[in-house]
Amino acid sequence: MSNKRVDFGNLGGFPLTQDLLLYMQSSYRDAISGMAKVCGNNVIVSGMEDNGTSFSDGWIVLDGELLPFVGGPKQSTFIVVDDKNNEIFEDGVSRTVYFTRYARFGSGGRPITDLFRLSTIGALQSNLTELNNNLTTLNSNYALHAANKSNPHGVTKQQVGLGNLPNAVSDDPTLNDSNVLATTRATAKASKIVRTATVDITGSINSTGDDAITNINIAGGIVSGAYLVAGSLRSYSQDFNNDNDVIWMVRDLTPVNFKLLIRKMARNYVYLMFDYAIILY
C-alpha cells in the first residue's frame, strides 16, 4: 500500500482538480524514488544488453533517479535528455505540461563506463554463499599455515636480509673457522679447557692443622698463554667429618706448574684428592 492514496468510493460528485492529480502523481513518484535509492547509484537495473555494436533499451539509476535508457549504436558517452511537449488549454493558451526525461548515447556526456550492472537478488545470494564458503576454507587454511613451522614458502636468508651470514653451524666450541658463526668462535676464544687432572694431596697435609703448600705439575706438559685453575677437593676417607674442614687457593701459575695452598682448620688427618681443570682466557 502506498503512503498516499485517494478513496474514490465516496458518492456525491468527487472533485477532480489539479491538486488531486498532483497528489496522485507525487504518491508514485516518491515511492519510485525511494526504491531507486535501494539500488545504489550509477547502476544498470535492467536491459542495456551489449550487442557488439549497439545497446538495447533498459533502465538505469543515475544520481538517485530512475531513468529509462534508450538504446542505439554504441558510443563512449551518454547524455540525459529532457523532452518537453505542450498542450492547448481551454483558454486557448499553449502551455508546456509533458516532460519526458531519459538517457541515451551522445557526445560530450558522461562515460558509459560510469555505469555498472546491478546483480539480481538470486545472483547476490549465490555470491554471498560462495563468499562464506571461501571464508571458511580460508580460515581453515590459515590455521594450518600458522601451525606449519617448516618454512612453507621456502623463504631464503637473502630475502630476510641475512645473506652475509654463513649457513654453517657447529656444536664444537673449540672450532675456529670463518664458516662458523661468530658466536661459536668468540666462545672458543673466550675460554678453553686445555688440561684436566686429579692429584692425591693426602700426604701434603699434616694432621695437626696449620698451612701447607704443594707444587702441582700440570698434566700434559706446557700450557701456552694465561690461564686459571678451576678445581675442587674430593674426600675419600671413611669419615667425612675429618675431610670437610680444609680450604685452598692457588698461586705462582707458570706454563708447567702452579702451587696449591691448603689450610687445615681442625686437627684430624685427611684423605683428599684435588680435581682441577686448566682454562685458557
Q: What is the CATH number of the domain that holds 276?
A: 2.60.40.2080
- Residue 88 host element (H or E): strand 77-88
Look at the chain and report how many structural domains it folds into: 2
**Grid cell listed for 31:** 515511492
**Number of DSSP helices (H) and strands (E) in the chain, helices first:** 3, 15
Looking at residue 65, its amino acid is: E
β 227-235/94-105 pair status:
unpaired
CB atoms near residue 58 (< 10 Å): 19
End-of-domain residue from the set 85, 104, 121: 121
State the residue range of the domain holding 84: 18-121
pLDDT in tens, the chain (281 residues): 567 888 888 888 888 888 888 888 887 777 777 777 777 788 998 999 999 999 999 999 998 889 999 999 999 999 999 999 999 999 999 999 999 999 999 999 999 999 988 777 777 788 888 899 999 999 999 998 888 988 888 888 888 887 777 666 666 656 666 666 656 555 655 568 888 999 998 877 765 667 888 999 998 888 988 999 999 999 988 888 878 888 899 999 999 999 999 888 876 778 899 999 999 88
Task: Tell me which DSSP letter residue 8 carries.
Answer: T
Q: In this structure, are 117 and 197 located in the same domain?
A: no
- Last residue of one domain, picked from the residues 94, 121, 148: 121
182 three-state secondary structure: helix
| 147 falls within a domain | no
Distance CA 2, CA 81 (A): 29
Same domain, 115 and 203: no
Does 30 share its domain with 111? yes
Residue 250 belongs to some domain of the structure: yes
User: Looking at 77, 98, 121, which one is the last position of a domain?
Assistant: 121
For residue 98, give the 3-state DSSP assignment.
strand
Predicted confidence at residue 113, as pLDDT, reads 92
Cross-strand partners of 281: none
Has residue 175 been placed in a domain? no
Instruction: Give the per-residue pLDDT at 174.
Output: 60
117 and 195 in a single domain? The answer is no
Determine the pLDDT at residue 190.
Answer: 57
Hey, what's the cell of 80? 540525459
Are residues 194 and 117 part of one domain?
A: no
Indicate whether 161 belongs to any domain: no
Cβ neighbours around 129 below 10 Å, total: 10
* Residue 162 counted as domain residue: no
What SS3 state is found at 184? helix
At 84 the pLDDT is 94
Q: Looking at residue 137, what is its pLDDT?
A: 92
Q: Coil, helix or strand for 143?
A: helix
Residue at 79 is within a domain: yes
Q: Quick check: helix, strand or coil at residue 258?
A: strand
Q: Confirm whether 127 is domain-assigned.
A: no
Does some domain include residue 34? Answer: yes
